[in-house]
Amino acid sequence: MPVVANHMSRNLLTTEPGARLVDAAKSMAARGVGAVIVLEGERLAGILTERDMLGAVADGYGDDAKVSDWMTAHPETIEVDDSTSHAAALMIHGGFRHLPVLEGGRLAGILSIRDLMRVALEDQSPRGV
Model confidence pLDDT, tens digit, residues 46-105: 999 999 999 999 999 988 999 999 999 999 999 999 999 999 999 999 999 999 999 999
Residue 103 maps to a domain: yes
18 and 45 in contact (C-beta within 8 Å)? no
**In which domain, by residue range, is 16 found?**
4-124
Q: Which residues of 108-125 are buried (b: 16+ CB within 10 A; e: fewer)?
A: bbbbbeebbeebeeeeee
Counting the structural domains of the chain, the total is: 1
CATH number at residue 112: 3.10.580.10
Q: Please write the tens of the pLDDT for every residue from 33-55.
A: 999 999 999 999 999 999 999 99
38 and 12 in contact (C-beta within 8 Å)? no
* Nearest C-alpha neighbor of 75 from the set 103, 51, 46: 46
Residue 129 maps to a domain: no
Q: What is the pTM of this model?
A: 0.88
Residue 77 maps to a domain: yes
From edge to edge, which strands make up the β-sheet containing 35-40? 14-15, 35-40, 43-49, 72-73
